Amino acid sequence: MSTLTLPAKVYNNLQLKLVDKFLNSTLTGLNVKTQICGVTSRGFVQIAVSGEDESVAHRYLDEEVGLCPTDLNHIEKFSRIKGYVTALNRSKDEFYVDIGVFSPNIIDATIPLLHLQAQLSDGRKVALKKFVELFGLCENLPLSIKIFSIDRNKNYIEAKLSEKQLVQFRDWTSSLLDRLIILGASHDEVERALKMTGSNRDVVDILALGLFEHAVVCKLGTDAAGLIPKIGKKLRSATLSIFNPREILAFLGEAHLS
């Protein structure tokens, strides 16, 4: 039996049942048994996997879902890892991403502001607070990052946004469609909230960023900010933010798309 930490966060105990359902569906056809062991202090789900196809299930989850490295010694330079935005108010010069490392202690990946400026504004000196506002960056937003350097003596991980993440931001921007980012709710909960408020008429799609994180793609001409008062009433425990391509282009210009 092996214990794994998934790069998936839960926001309440009821969501653990949905994680269990997801695992059973994902591993259909394999002779394995999965059991949820618990949740880390930062909300990552830990599971036990056992059975004849345990090694196959482990490999499949690693390739298709990803696994938290959990230990600093498991981090490799230039590897791509899924993480979650955290500690937004900790610094004006650094951006932090929780990648599920909790041994020897909790260690977040650090993205220096200079890296964000090089990647998102073509080197232009833009404040971290402005990037947060423009890209809808908020606590627990999933991001794909690339490890830039590791100092194991100082328990320090430096990273950049991965090319996959940059492509996503560019695609979202070039589409000119607003996105309402909803964190802490299942797909069914988001879909139900849209239908109950009649907002589904203003929506093109619901994109999964994680099990409980989604980006609602608005129709051209629909302002995502206008949906917040409606959706917020139905998803009171969720965090909502906005990705607005027009504001990004107005502030950063075409350089962001290059």
pLDDT for the residue numbered 256: 64
User: Which H helix or E strand runs over 98?
Assistant: strand 94-98
Rg (CA), the chain: 19
User: Residue range 37-50: average pLDDT?
Assistant: 95
Of the chain, the percentage scoring pLDDT greater than 70 comes to 98
Domain boundaries, the chain: 2-64, 72-168, 176-257
Report the distance separating Cα 213 and Cα 190, nearest Å.
10
- What the block records as the tokens of 69 is 């490295």
- Say how many CA atoms lie within 13 Å of 46 toward its Cβ: 15
pLDDT for the residue numbered 154: 96
pLDDT for the residue numbered 64: 86
Q: What is 72-168's CATH topology?
A: OB fold (Dihydrolipoamide Acetyltransferase, E2P) (2.40.50)
Q: pLDDT tens digits, residue range 148-205?
A: 999 999 999 999 999 999 999 999 999 999 999 999 999 999 999 999 999 999 999 9
Q: Is the pLDDT of residue 255 over 70?
A: no
The dotted CATH code for 176-257 is 3.30.70.100
Q: Is the pLDDT of residue 25 over 80?
A: yes
Nearest alpha-carbon partner for 84 in 169, 156, 163, 143? 143
User: Residue range 201-216: average pLDDT?
Assistant: 97
Nearest alpha-carbon partner for 65 in 1, 5, 12, 148? 5
The dotted CATH code for 2-64 is 3.30.310
Q: pLDDT tens digits, residue range 118-151?
A: 999 999 999 999 999 999 999 999 999 999 999 9
Mean pLDDT of the chain: 95
Q: Is the pLDDT of residue 91 over 80?
A: yes
pLDDT for the residue numbered 1: 82
